[in-house]
Amino acid sequence: MTDENLKWQNKVADVRAKGVLGMQLYVILTSPTGPMDAVLAQMGGHLAFQKQLEQDGIMFAAGPFADDEEQVWSGAGMVIIRAESLDQAKNIADQDPMHLSGARDYRIRPWLLNEGSLTVRVTYSDGGRQIS
């Protein structure tokens, strides 16, 4: 395999040419920098920020990670956003109150959503909804 085959933009073009979605997204992996008290103190502002990203159409998905035994939350999470570039994704991540306060730091990974599915069921009679 040549170095050209490993360039990210070539990978994006290749998967799209092969007929899969190839939606460019950015994954923000966020983790505490110190005691959980600092994370918990920023939670209200952080969630308000996340909700605004969702309303603005920037947020794709977000949520916390459990430990490997599915017993404890250590303050880490993941945010997946729509952005035009890595620089724009960094700018968005920098505005999160968790990161502004220093309660968490982050790492961003460009990601292609290629395969998968989402099912949405809406019942008219009671306005119920289910996502799976």
Per-residue pLDDT tens digits for 90-100: 999 999 999 99
Provide the percentage of residues in the chain whose pLDDT is more than 90.
90
Tally the domains of the chain: 1
Question: Which range among 36-45, 95-104, 118-127 shows the weakest confidence by mean pLDDT?
Answer: 118-127
Containing domain of residue 75, as a range? 3-131
- Nearest C-alpha neighbor of 98 from the set 56, 47, 25: 47
Residue 115 clears pLDDT 70, i.e. is over it:
yes
Per the prediction, the chain carries an average pLDDT of 94
- The Cα 92–Cα 113 span in angstroms is 20
Residue 132 clears pLDDT 90, i.e. is over it:
no
- The Cα 98–Cα 104 span in angstroms is 5
Q: What pLDDT does residue 2 have?
A: 67
Note the pTM of the prediction, 2 decimals: 0.88
Provide the percentage of residues in the chain whose pLDDT is more than 70.
98
127: CATH: 3.30.70.1060
